[in-house]
Amino acid sequence: MYSSSASLFGLLCGLIVLLILPFPSHASDPDPLQDVCIADLNAPISINGFPCKPDSEVTSDDFFTDFSKNPTTFDVFKRAVTLGDVSGFPAVNTQGVSLFRIDLDVGGINPPHTHPRGTEAGIVTRGKVLVGLVTTNNTFFSKVLTPGMVFLIPRALIHFQLNVGKGPATFIPIFNTQNPGVSDSLTTLFDTTPPIPNELLTKSLRVSDDVINAIRKARASN
C-alpha cells in the first residue's frame, strides 16, 4: 500500500514538473541561450541583462566570488550588504539567480521592503534574526531564526529582517533572478524625484504637513 501511494505521489510530482518547466512565464528571468554570459559591466545595458564578455576574455575567477569577509562599515540602519547580483557577481548574468550577504550590527535592521522581480529564500549563518513578512490580505507572519534556519519571502511581498541578538547577525538571501530589484516603503514615499506632493501624503497617511516635513528633514540628514 505504501509503495503504491509513493509511486502515485512521485508520478504526480513528475507531472507537475513537466507542466511547469516548458513555460518560460513561470520563470523570473528568460532562459539563457548559451552556457556562459559573463556580464560586461562597461557595456550599455540591454533589455534582459548585460551583454556578454567575449569568450576569449572569460577566466576562472569570473565564476567565483567571496562572501567570507566581515564588514568594517555599516549604513544608518546598522546594515552592510555584499552584492551577489549581476552588478557584484557578473557570472549570474542570464542565469536567473543572484545572492547577497547581509550583515546586521547589534540592533541593525533591513527595513521593510519588497523585491518586485524575485522570490527570496535565505539562510541565517550568524546571530539571531527576526524575519517578518506581510501578505496582501495584511496578515503578518514572523519568526526569530538562528544559524542554519531558512526563510522564504514570496515575490513582491513586504518583509524585513531585524537583529534581535546580543551580537552581529548575518544571513544569505538567494533569488530566482539576476536582478530582484528593491523598493522600500520610506524611499518610495519620501525620496522620489521630483518629490511626491505633501497634499497627497498628508491625505493618504492622515497626518499633518508638519509630520511629513519632519520625516523629510530626518531622512535628508541621514
Check the annotation: does 159 bind a ligand.
yes
Contact indicator for 180, 118 with CB cutoff of 8 Å:
yes
Q: Is 199 annotated as a binding residue?
A: no
Question: What CA–CA distance (Å, rounded) separates 193 from 191?
Answer: 7
Grid coordinates belonging to 61: 575567477
Q: Residue 43: which of 57, 33, 27, 31 has the closest Cα? A: 57
What is d(CA 74, CA 172) in angstroms, rounded to the nearest whole number?
17
- Residue 26 known to bind ligand: no
User: Could you tell me which residues are annotated as the binding site for oxalate?
Assistant: 110, 115, 120
Residue ranges of the annotated binding site for Mn(2+) are 113, 115, 120, 159
Residues annotated within the binding site are 110, 113, 115, 120, 159
